[in-house]
A and B are shown apart, each in its own frame.
Chain A
Amino acid sequence: MSQGEEDETAIGRVLDGETTAFSAIVERWQGPLINLAYRFCRDRGRAEDMAQEAFIRAFRGLKSWRREAAFSTWLFALATNVYRDEMRKFAPVSVPMDENVAAEGSEEEAADEADRRRLVHNAVQSLPPKYRDPVLLFYFHDQNIAATARSLRLREGTVKARLSRGRALLESKLSSRL
């Protein structure tokens, strides 16, 4: 039985009133949903809270899943929506990238791989949400534009344009680093 069919079977049971069958869904998708949440908030505990909220919303809205799209597509779009809302609710006061990087330390430190990662992630977090979200989703979906567009419920052309602009902003923020 394929993963999609297993999802469908479990959802059918949940919709018939067997709540415990939802655990199969959580078990299968907890990793991807927590990892996606982590890309948004960069905090493990908060990522789990956000993923839990996404699962609860999925449970509530299972009836609205139209079976013409894969369950995973529906689930990622729902989770993305939840995460964006959560980030909007508790948005940090935006820190200009230059200040952020200046606080990171010396050039030697910046040469370190961990610091390089931190620089890039800080730069992504400092992007406006309009560009941040396509960048996060694009790399989460293994650089698949179509999957990114489905998760964001946007047209592929729009995603490509925002991604291009987002990457250009990232490059300009990071061009003088390392």
Chain B
Amino acid sequence: MKSEDIDQVLANEREVAPSPDFLASVMRAVRREATSLPPLKFPWRRALPGFLATFVALARTIWDLVNFLRDAASYAVIKEQLDHLAALAAGFGLQWILLAAVVTLISLALSLKLVGGRHYLS
């Protein structure tokens, strides 16, 4: 088939007439749309005090943490506790738990990629 034949077919597509009740059907849907309540807006004014309190608490926590870590004695205590936790974790087989978590994440990512549908498009 030549290029002109393809042009001829595509340029002379048959017209599809709307069915008699198409207009009425669209207008019913439009009226439904017009009468439905608009989506609820996020209550920013009410949520603002909560956001401010969270921000202040977070800032205070970070400030305290920084001050705590600046102190050499505190740092030594934390390091000792972390070492203790690491020893405990080694006893529980932490490396296997981490390996299982990594395998789970990889299989999850692979499944999501496969059901993403992109392979149908080309």
Count of inter-chain pairs, beta carbons less than 8 A: 95
Partner of A174, one of B1, B11, B13: B1
Task: Name A127-161 residues within 8 Å CB distance of B.
Answer: 128-129, 135, 139-140, 142-143
Alpha-carbon gap, A71 to B47, bound state (A): 40
Q: Which residues of A have CB within 8 Å of B10?
A: 120, 124, 135, 139
**Chain B binding surface, main DSSP class:** helix
Task: Name A109-129 residues within 8 Å CB distance of B.
Answer: 116-117, 119-121, 124, 128-129
A56 touching B1 in the complex, CB below 8 Å, given contacts A124-B10, A128-B121, A167-B6: no
Alpha-carbon gap, A175 to B120, bound state (A): 25
Q: When the two chains form their complex, are residues A167 and B3 in contact, meaning their CB atoms are under 8 A apart? A: yes
Alpha-carbon gap, A59 to B5, bound state (A): 39
B26 contacts partner chain A, Cβ-Cβ < 8 Å: yes
A19 touching B26 in the complex, CB below 8 Å, given contacts A34-B16, A47-B16, A143-B11: no
B107 contacts partner chain A, Cβ-Cβ < 8 Å: no
Q: When the two chains form their complex, are residues B30 and A22 in contact, meaning their CB atoms are under 8 A apart? A: yes
Q: When the two chains form their complex, are residues A56 and B30 in contact, meaning their CB atoms are under 8 A apart? A: yes
Size band of the B side of the interface? 20 to 34
**Chain A binding surface, main DSSP class:** helix
One of B17-25, B49-57, B95-103 contacting the partner: B17-25
Q: Mark A36-62, 1 if CB is under 8 A from B, else 0.
A: 001100001001100110011001100
Determine the residue in chain A with the shortest Cβ distance to B31. A19
Q: Which residues of A have CB within 8 Å of B15?
A: 31, 35
B9 contacts partner chain A, Cβ-Cβ < 8 Å: yes
Most B-side CB within 10 Å, residue of A93, A121, A139, A177: A139
Q: Which residues of A have CB within 8 Å of B13?
A: 35, 39, 139-140
Determine the residue in chain B with the shortest Cβ distance to A58. B30
Alpha-carbon gap, A128 to B120, bound state (A): 10
Most A-side CB within 10 Å, residue of B16, B26, B29, B33: B26
Alpha-carbon gap, A27 to B18, bound state (A): 10
Alpha-carbon gap, A26 to B6, bound state (A): 32
Q: When the two chains form their complex, are residues A59 and B11 in contact, meaning their CB atoms are under 8 A apart? A: no
Q: Which residues of B have CB within 8 Å of A135?
A: 10
12 residue pairs A–B, Cβ–Cβ below 8 Å: A22-B27, A31-B17, A51-B22, A52-B29, A56-B29, A88-B121, A91-B121, A116-B5, A124-B10, A128-B122, A139-B11, A174-B6
In the complex, the 9 A-B pairs of residues with the closest C-beta atoms, listed nearest first: A174-B1, A139-B10, A120-B9, A19-B34, A30-B18, A38-B16, A128-B122, A178-B1, A91-B120
- 15 more CB-based (< 8 A) A-B contacts, given A19-B34, A116-B1: A26-B27, A30-B26, A48-B19, A55-B30, A56-B26, A88-B117, A91-B120, A93-B120, A94-B120, A116-B5, A121-B9, A135-B10, A171-B1, A171-B3, A174-B1
